[in-house]
Structure 1
Amino acid sequence: MPLVTVTVCAPKDAAFKASVLDAVHAALVASGVPEADRFQRVLELPAQDFRYDASYPDVTGARDDDFLLIEILWSAGRSVKIRKALLADLMQRLAAAGRNPENVMVCFRETTRENWAFAGGRLLHA
């Protein structure tokens, strides 16, 4: 179960946020995540609360106010090959939605399966 957090600089309209969330979910599904496994949130922060470097470490051009910080928390065990394929797919989908891939940072975080309680406090994998 991936938990996706997208942090953006305020304000962003619903269409902007939906295009990003839909692209992330489609790339996750293409990587093997079930279609119904969609848990996402958007953190929309004022500029004074969301600071980032415009060019670190190797950005072509410069980041702007449409910068996306995408964090994907998922169960441990996915290979680098799967991550690279997901990233390539995601960048294609974001570009098709009018988002600049150079304006996107993705961070994968892993946890073990026994750390997920999906509902009712039940640890299904423990």
Structure 2
Amino acid sequence: MPFVTFTVRRGLDRADKLQLSAAMIEAQVAAGFQREDLFHRFIDVDPDDLLADPRYPNYTADRTDRFLVVEVVISKGRPKATADLIADEAIRQFGERLQLAPRDVLFVFHEVDPELPRFPAETLIPKATADA
């Protein structure tokens, strides 16, 4: 179950966020995850709160004001190719859907222990009563 956080500069509209999310789902599916694994969060920041070197690492053109960071949390133990597949397919999808240049996207992958609980067991959720 990937958990994805998009950090974007304030002003990105809902339609573009939905396109980013849809593109990311396609990338996740290409890497072997289920289409229903939709856990995406958007953090909007002021332009002065998302700084990046305009050309690192050796880009020939500057990043634009559309620069964003995509953080992906996945379970430890997956093949390295999983992250590569997600990033490559997401870049392709972002380009097709939003005309976003690869230099305007930074991917950060985090691995977590797959044995850690993610959701409370359904048996721990109190059942609604007639009095509630």
Give the TM-score taking structure 2 as reference length.
0.83
Tell me which residue corresponds to 1:54.
54
Structure 2 unaligned regions, length at least 5: 124-132
Identity %: 30
CA shift, 1:121, in A, is: 8.7
Amino acid at match of 1:114: E
Quick check: 1:73–1:110 contact (8 Å CA) kept in 2?
A: yes
**In 1, Cα distance between the equivalents of 2:60 and 2:111?**
28
**In 1, Cα distance between the equivalents of 2:54 and 2:122?**
41
Amino acid at match of 1:68: L
Give the TM-score taking structure 1 as reference length.
0.87
**In 1, Cα distance between the equivalents of 2:86 and 2:60?**
21
**In 1, Cα distance between the equivalents of 2:68 and 2:59?**
13
**In 2, Cα distance between the equivalents of 1:61 and 1:116?**
43
- Pick closer, same or farther for the CA change 1:36–1:51 going to 2, 3 Å: same
**In 1, Cα distance between the equivalents of 2:72 and 2:10?**
21
Quick check: 1:76–1:113 contact (8 Å CA) kept in 2?
A: yes
CA shift, 1:82, in A, is: 2.7
- Pick closer, same or farther for the CA change 1:37–1:87 going to 2, 3 Å: same
Quick check: 1:67–1:104 contact (8 Å CA) kept in 2?
A: yes
The structure with more radius of gyration: 2
Amino acid at match of 1:116: P
Quick check: 1:60–1:102 contact (8 Å CA) kept in 2?
A: no
